Amino acid sequence: MKIAIASGKGGTGKTMVATSMAAALAPIHNIQMLDCDVEAPNAHLFLNPTINEIKPASINIPTIDYEQCILCGQCVDICEFNALALLGDKIEVFEQLCHGCGSCSIHCPVNAITETPRKIGELKFGTFNKNRPFLFGELTISEPMSTPIIRQLKSNMKDDVEVTILDSPPGASCSVVATLHDADYVILVTEPTPFGLHDLKQMIGVISETGSLAGVIINRDGIGDSAVEDFLSKNGYPILMKIPYQENIAEGLASGKLLIDIIPEFEDAFLNLYEMIKEQIHEEIYH
């Protein structure tokens, strides 16, 4: 079972929710934690995993052999991402635009293109809570493309666990879709503000495409207005939990504490939430 935590708007509390849920479940359930926010991974700061393996994440970019190349430009035409250009007597490769799809080398009529790995970041594997797998990716600073590293991270997931928690990047674009497209349940974290609502609607748009079950956690409850709750009741999305807007929560998080250590009642709340989600997934599958 895969549960992803996403938000649309950044800074709404995805990692706060994901890390506290992971920490609450880890002593009793066979879980693994994936931090897919590869541009700014920070779940490890809260769960303090022991990292015991680091692997490079790379994409395959084209290298042109000019002994073979006939400058026909077919590779340029086929490239969906404009990563190649035929300029005078050479093919220029714009490495940072290349998605590593390999279409250019497949289409080259004279086999002049070989694919060479280019490192774009690192995959880090370890454990937290004694032996629960903890995986995260880290995109190299200045690299623009996070989806390949998220895909590679996910291909290293253990499949003999009861539940995988995926901490998603912010936004509602490719990297988020790469994280949650195969999730069984998506927890959307939002805040009761116009900005929170706007981005929540975008995420609900994404989820209606991926077809996952979803529910909403309202963070910073007590600020803003009731528009988020009105929207949710009108559209039939359940409110899973409310986390109050309190200074001691902000202070605790800033010093690296988990929400369940700042307000211990949340430990049971996350355990109950997990049981509720599990039931809902089973119902979806068997009915």
Output the six-digit token pair for 133.
């797998």
In whole angstroms, how close is the CB of 92 to other proteins at the nearest point?
A: 5
Q: Choose which of 68, 94, 233, 250 interacts with other proteins (CB under 8 A).
A: 94
In whole angstroms, how close is the CB of 85 to other proteins at the nearest point?
A: 5
In whole angstroms, how close is the CB of 193 to other proteins at the nearest point?
A: 30
In whole angstroms, how close is the CB of 209 to other proteins at the nearest point?
A: 17
Total number of residues that touch other proteins (CB under 8 A): 12
**Distance between CA 35 and CA 4 in Å, rounded?**
10
**Distance between CA 26 and CA 164 in Å, rounded?**
11
In whole angstroms, how close is the CB of 87 to other proteins at the nearest point?
A: 4
Strand order in the sheet with 132-139: 50-64, 113-128, 132-139, 31-35, 163-167, 2-6, 185-190, 213-221, 239-244
72 binding other proteins? (CB under 8 A) = no
87 binding other proteins? (CB under 8 A) = yes
Coil, strand or helix at 108? coil
86 binding other proteins? (CB under 8 A) = yes
Q: Choose which of 78, 97, 227, 271 interacts with other proteins (CB under 8 A).
A: 97
Task: Give the pairing type, strands 31-35 and 132-139.
Answer: parallel
81 binding other proteins? (CB under 8 A) = yes
Footprint on residues 197-236 left by other proteins (CB under 8 A): none
116 binding other proteins? (CB under 8 A) = no
Cα separations in angstroms, 130 against 21, 43, 124, 126, 134: 16, 16, 17, 10, 11
Closer residue to other proteins (CB): 82 or 272: 82
Q: Choose which of 88, 211, 236, 264 interacts with other proteins (CB under 8 A).
A: 88
In whole angstroms, how close is the CB of 108 to other proteins at the nearest point?
A: 17
Instruction: Report which secondary-structure segment, H or E, holds 234.
Output: helix 227-235
Closer residue to other proteins (CB): 81 or 231: 81
Output the six-digit token pair for 248.
């001691």
Q: Choose which of 33, 83, 123, 260 interacts with other proteins (CB under 8 A).
A: 83
**Distance between CA 180 and CA 165 in Å, rounded?**
10
Contact between residue 222 and residue 250 where contact means Cβ atoms under 8 Å apart: no
78 binding other proteins? (CB under 8 A) = no
Q: Choose which of 1, 78, 85, 227 interacts with other proteins (CB under 8 A).
A: 85
210-246 burial code (b ≥16 CB/10 A, e <16)? eebbbbbbbbbbeebeeebbebbeeeebeebbbbeee
254 binding other proteins? (CB under 8 A) = no
How many C-beta neighbours within 10 Å does residue 115 have?
Answer: 15
Q: Which residues are near other proteins by CB under 8 A?
A: 76, 81-83, 85-88, 90, 92, 94, 97
